[in-house]
Structure 1
Amino acid sequence: MASDTASLRPMPAPERALARKRRYRRRLRSRIILSFVIFGFVLTALIASTAVYLRNRVEDQVISAALTKNNNVFAEGFYRNPDAIGVPFEKIQGRQFSTSKLDRVPDAWRALANGVHELTEQDPVTGNERVYRLAVRKDPDYWFFLAYDIAEERESQERLNRALIGSVGIFTLLSALIGWWSAARVMSPVSELARRLQASGDSTQPEPLAPHFPEDEVGQLASALDDYAARLTEVVQRDREFNADVSHELRTPLAVVKGAVELLLSRPDLDEKTRARLLRIQRAEQQCTDLISALLLLSRNERGHGATDVQRVAEQLLDAHRTQLGGKPLALRLEGSRELVVDAPESAVNVALGNLIGNAVKYTTQGEVIVRLLDGAVEVIDSGPGLSAEDAARLFERGYRGTHAEHSLGGGIGLSIVRRLCALYGWRVRVVPGEERGVVATLTFSAGNGTL
């Protein structure tokens, strides 16, 4: 047998409000701030990367073109006047070698092709690393080399990179601050709308929201909420009036039935068969009265108070079901003599416990149904056909009838009413398969709300 359980433990209102508040902040305010941070970082990084790329590209092109041009000037000047040594350029060193004396060419330059090359070598005198560009021109008789020291350019490039990285961080932080400020401005009317909406929930006639906001998107939302609140208030009012009218109109004929039955039961000449039927009518009248009282409390969403003895209620329910067993081979027993007094009207406890006992009696064809009193709880144990996985998952759904319901009477709303009563009073109901067969239903009265 699957060990699926069906239980109910309502989340307290403060926890629900806190959960909604956390989701609200994460989904709106934080998203706005995060969007600004990402936008600022990506935009600044893109601009910085583009600046570095363009600077390096332009610098390479300018230096390469200048070196090639000056190397050609150097070569042409040498051909015109071989006695002229050097070139009149700052940071530029020009050298020429005869092809008959290529052993004088530095090893790093010898294998280079015509064009511009970037070289790195260590200065033998100072030991410092030297970075330079070298323009190469190899003619049949002479090789010409023009070296340009780019150490300063590399240093300035590193400084520029550091400055750009710093600017990315600064602009990202600035974007975060702008995003935080913008989120506060954007969310201010939404927060005000949420505050007013929450405050209006404490009143049966909520204050209109739209007059407090301009005719923008938030104002349209406030107008829509006003319209929805008006329609919802009207529906709730009609529902309350209907429940009150039905309760009043049903109580009157039930009171007549109760009085008539009591009057008939007082006659000494009643035979046992008639007395049994009258007692059954009396129990049905009491059950209907309790159900009306419980439904009225649920419709008003208010807790009734009282000092209900659960043991006495359980005994009355078992006695009532014993008279309806007929020839059904079923034993009904009450175990435990614990004092369990619940702060709730007897009608509410009667309906909640009565549904659990009624289901156990209905679906158990033979064997026994045991009602066991525990510390702050009641167990209803039967020897019926058990509980399927589908029943365990959907047991408290309104209108759901279990797989073993077959042709039995009932609309599948009994356990739904139990669920609503538990949510109202802070109780817990749990229905699980028995160890071998049957079902174990546990109704727990929380110490803070339900027991005295």
Structure 2
Amino acid sequence: MIDIQETSLSLRKRIVLAVILLVTVTSAIFAVAVWKIKVGLEEVVFGHMVDSQLELLRQATDDLSSIDTDLLNGWVLYAGSDLQQLPGRLQELSAGSYHSLSVEDQYLQVRVSGEGLDKVVLTYDITEWEQQEHWVLEIMLFGALLVLVIAAVSGVKAASTILSPLQRLTSSLNDIKPQQRGVRLSAEYNGKEVAQIAQAFDRYMERLDEFVSREKLFTQAASHELRTPLSVVMGATEVLESQPDIKSSSNESVHRALSRINRACHDMQGFMEVSLLLSRESAHPVESDEAINLSELVSQIIDEYRTQLNDHNIRVEQHFINEIPLYQSESLLQVIVSNVIRNAIQHTHDGEIQVIGSDTTLKVIDTGSGISDEHLSQVFDGGFSTRPGGTGLGLSLVRRLCDRLGWKVSIDSQVGSGTCVSIRFEHHKK
């Protein structure tokens, strides 16, 4: 099942954050620019006004200390002996213009002219302007917060609108069953941004459908075409076995050869049954009316591999605690068990293989080369093999058949110590 809930939430957050960040940065830049322009204009306007006023006073009289400052509303002139009354902060100022100096709960525009005894200080009270400026600043901050909230709400709505088609596509993909064929989605998303994704998925599904169709056709055709020559071989073997001279023959090699031919034909029939089962996704394994004795089946498979066991100098031990009656197709069981045992033989030299069975589990334990942790998670993947020249189909086939039967197969291994393949039977009783 496709799960993009986390991805959707993460993408939604990224969209919302992007909108908030964009709006916040833009608003902040605009507010700072307006603020800087306002402060700059005030500084220029008030500075020019105070300079002009001081110049007018100089033109009106040579003795600035004689001017009655009470006649100047909001203005204070310090000259001559009045300089001793200057607030402490203003006494240290050198000649120049100063904007918005905070002095005794007031904001002043200050102009200092001259030095020493000729020093003149003219101040203008701009407290009311500064209070309005602070109110404007508070309004701007409130507006920024309001814009931030609006941006967050807009971002959430925009994210929902953007992700809605993608979430619908995800839901449609999750609803597709493995056995469904001919599923196409792009027609539902024409004109939307996700249409390209849906079209790409449709192209992939089309190729997948063609591949599955070719595989099924090949499997069915191969199984059908193999039945005829296989029946001929089995019929010819039966004819040979019925011959009086062969029946009465004491030549064990002849009887053994005929027995191996019969067994090979039987195995081939089982393989065709397995192939047809796996080619039909909805098909269920055929159950047997009679219980299959697993210990006897294992003994038979080991006997078939006797030559390889002798070549690899492998000892085999069987331990069956309880009889295991399995009401499954003998062909399927034979394919599963033989692949597991064959895999153990291929990776073991001068060692031992133990086959341990109980009423719920079959374990095949070898003392072979083992499998590294790096490769252990890949052993059931089709086409993967740790053996040079290996096809990697054996354990993959075992996993697929066990999944179809509702059984659990697991593997545990350690490099240099060996491997244990465990098959847990479930729903095996009739």
- TM-score of the superposition, structure 2-length normalised? 0.81
Structure 1 partner of 2:262: 282
Structure 2 residue 21 is the aligned partner of structure 1 residue 38: yes
Q: Distance in 2 between matches of 1:450 and 1:45?
A: 72
SS in 2 for 1:157: helix
Cα distance, 1:77–1:444 mapped onto 2, change above 3 Å: farther
- 1:316-367 Cα offsets, whole Å, 9 max, x none, are 3233323654565432122232455668644444323322211212332333
Structure 2 partner of 1:74: 57
Structure 2, unpaired ranges of 5+ = none
Aligned residues: 420
Structure 2 partner of 1:413: 393
2:41 aligned residue (47, 54, 58): 58
- 1:88-145 Cα offsets, whole Å, 9 max, x none, are 55433222225xx8645444333311112354344xxxxxx44433221126653322
Structure 2 residue 274 is the aligned partner of structure 1 residue 291: no
- 1:171-212 Cα offsets, whole Å, 9 max, x none, are 222122222323333334444444455556577453554444
2:303 aligned residue (313, 319, 336): 319
Structure 2 partner of 1:304: 285
- 1:56-91 Cα offsets, whole Å, 9 max, x none, are 232233233322332333343342776431165543
Structure 2 partner of 1:382: 366
- 1:408-428 Cα offsets, whole Å, 9 max, x none, are xx5332223234445554633
Structure 1 partner of 2:90: 109
Structure 1, unpaired ranges of 5+ = 1-15, 123-128
CA contact (8 A) 1:114 1:138 kept: yes
Q: Distance in 2 between matches of 1:150 and 1:264?
A: 124
Cα distance, 1:336–1:133 mapped onto 2, change above 3 Å: farther
Alignment of 1:337-348 (within 5 A): 337-338=321-322, 345-348=329-332
Cα distance, 1:254–1:151 mapped onto 2, change above 3 Å: farther
What is the alpha-carbon root mean square deviation over aligned residues?
A: 3.6
Q: Distance in 2 between matches of 1:428 and 1:331?
A: 24
2:74 aligned residue (71, 88, 91): 91
1:432 positional shift? 0.6
1:314 positional shift? 3.0
CA contact (8 A) 2:326 2:428 kept: yes
CA contact (8 A) 2:363 2:420 kept: yes
- 1:242-268 Cα offsets, whole Å, 9 max, x none, are 111112222343344344445545663
Q: Distance in 1 between matches of 2:29 and 2:248?
A: 103
CA contact (8 A) 2:183 2:205 kept: no
Comparing 411-420 with 270-279, greater Cα deviation is found at 411-420
Q: Distance in 1 between matches of 2:162 and 2:423?
A: 47
Identical positions, percent: 25
Q: Distance in 2 between matches of 1:388 and 1:202?
A: 32
Alignment of 1:245-256 (within 5 A): 245-256=221-232
Q: Which amino acid in structure 1 is aligned with residue 53 of structure 2?
A: N
Q: Distance in 2 between matches of 1:416 and 1:207?
A: 27
Structure 2 partner of 1:439: 418
Q: Distance in 2 between matches of 1:137 and 1:37?
A: 50
Q: Which amino acid in structure 2 is aligned with residue 53 of structure 1?
A: K
Cα distance, 1:362–1:200 mapped onto 2, change above 3 Å: closer
Structure 2 residue 141 is the aligned partner of structure 1 residue 160: no
Q: Distance in 2 between matches of 1:397 and 1:202?
A: 18
Q: Distance in 2 between matches of 1:153 and 1:344?
A: 95
SS in 1 for 2:340: helix
Structure 2 partner of 1:239: 215
SS in 2 for 1:79: coil
Comparing 41-50 with 139-148, greater Cα deviation is found at 139-148
Q: Distance in 1 between matches of 2:183 and 2:344?
A: 49
Q: Distance in 2 between matches of 1:310 and 1:154?
A: 97
Structure 2 partner of 1:336: 320
Comparing 220-229 with 154-163, greater Cα deviation is found at 220-229
Q: Distance in 2 between matches of 1:392 and 1:82?
A: 100
- TM-score of the superposition, structure 1-length normalised? 0.77
- 1:394-451 Cα offsets, whole Å, 9 max, x none, are 5445444435x58xxx5332223234445554633214127xx44222234375x778
Cα distance, 1:327–1:443 mapped onto 2, change above 3 Å: closer
1:368 positional shift? 1.9
Cα distance, 1:304–1:105 mapped onto 2, change above 3 Å: same
Q: Distance in 2 between matches of 1:141 and 1:196?
A: 90
Alignment of 1:169-248 (within 5 A): 169-196=145-172, 198-199=174-175, 204-206=180-182, 208-215=184-191, 217-248=193-224
Structure 2 residue 334 is the aligned partner of structure 1 residue 350: yes
CA contact (8 A) 2:89 2:103 kept: no
Cα distance, 1:200–1:402 mapped onto 2, change above 3 Å: closer
